[in-house]
A and B are shown apart, each in its own frame.
Chain A
Amino acid sequence: GAGVSQTPSNKVTEKGKYVELRCDPISGHTALYWYRQSLGQGPEFLIYFQGTGAADDSGLPNDRFFAVRPEGSVSTLKIQRTERGDSAVYLCASSLTSGGADEQFFGPGTRLTVL
């Protein structure tokens, strides 16, 4: 596709439920990043992949959060036992490589609301 796409655009769930958020990066981009943006804040890094492997998951807040990228393209962010504090916009970005100078291109985000 022409840009990074994310589905769903909005997700409303109940506390304690499991959710999956999907990201389709730009074709050919080997690096993929997940960020989380709470209301009134800048995005905060969660995890990034170089190819199929998670190169840095230091931003994941706890073990309820997990992400995969099994074929080095599409990625899924999985949240177990959701809590109200997980409500935020989850942003995905991709770049050609994970090299320092490479520009990251962002998707439109998924707005997650946990009731």
Chain B
Amino acid sequence: KQEVTQIPAALSVPEGENLVLNCSFTDSAIYNLQWFRQDPGKGLTSLLLIQSSQREQTSGRLNASLDKSSGRSTLYIAASQPGDSATYLCAVKGNTPLVFGKGTRLSVIA
């Protein structure tokens, strides 16, 4: 059974810092991995999707990497801003629908 773990559970950083969020998964037989953002009381916003054949994806200040063989992904956020404060969720898709981690709650302090 696929399990997804996100570390750390919560993170607080000063504005302007670069930061890395980690995601690990137990079954490397995946089609893709997605990173989502969730604001309090809101739904999920897809940030980046990495297909299993890809190593990384970039969108603006965000960069996500995927190492399928080791079951790891990282989300790198450059020059963090208070508006980046949210919960970030990692999810993998194998032969079942998406399996999510519990998320990392990020606070960026001005």
Of the four ranges (under 10, 10 to 19, 20 to 34, 35 or more), the interface on chain A belongs to: 20 to 34
Assuming the A-B contacts A42-B4, A103-B46, A108-B43, are A56 and B98 also in contact, with contact meaning beta carbons closer than 8 angstroms in the complex? no
Question: B89, A42: Cβ atoms under 8 Å?
Answer: yes
Closest B residue to A98 by CB, please name it. Answer: B97
- Closest residue on chain B to residue A106 by CB atoms: B44
Nearest chain A CB to B91 CB, angstrom units: 7
The docked-state distance in angstroms from the alpha carbon of A56 to that of B93 is: 14
Q: Which of A12-20, A43-51, A69-77, A79-87 contacts B (4 or more CB under 8 A)?
A: A43-51
Select A107's contact among B41, B43, B95, B102, beta carbons within 8 Å: B43
Partner of A106, one of B46, B51, B103: B46
Partner of A45, one of B43, B99, B101: B99
List CB contacts (< 8 Å) of A95-115 with chain B.
100-101, 103-109, 111
Across the interface, which residues of A come within 8 angstroms of B94, CB to CB? 100
Q: For residue A91, which residues in chain B have a CB less than 8 angstroms away from its CB?
A: 43-44
Q: A residues engaging B (CB < 8 A)?
A: 33, 35, 40-45, 48, 56, 58-59, 91, 93, 100-101, 103-109, 111
29 A-B pairs within 8 Å (CB atoms) are namely A35-B100, A40-B102, A41-B102, A42-B4, A42-B89, A42-B91, A42-B100, A42-B101, A42-B102, A43-B89, A43-B98, A43-B100, A44-B100, A45-B98, A56-B97, A58-B96, A91-B44, A100-B31, A100-B94, A103-B32, A104-B93, A104-B98, A105-B46, A106-B36, A106-B44, A106-B45, A107-B43, A108-B42, A109-B43
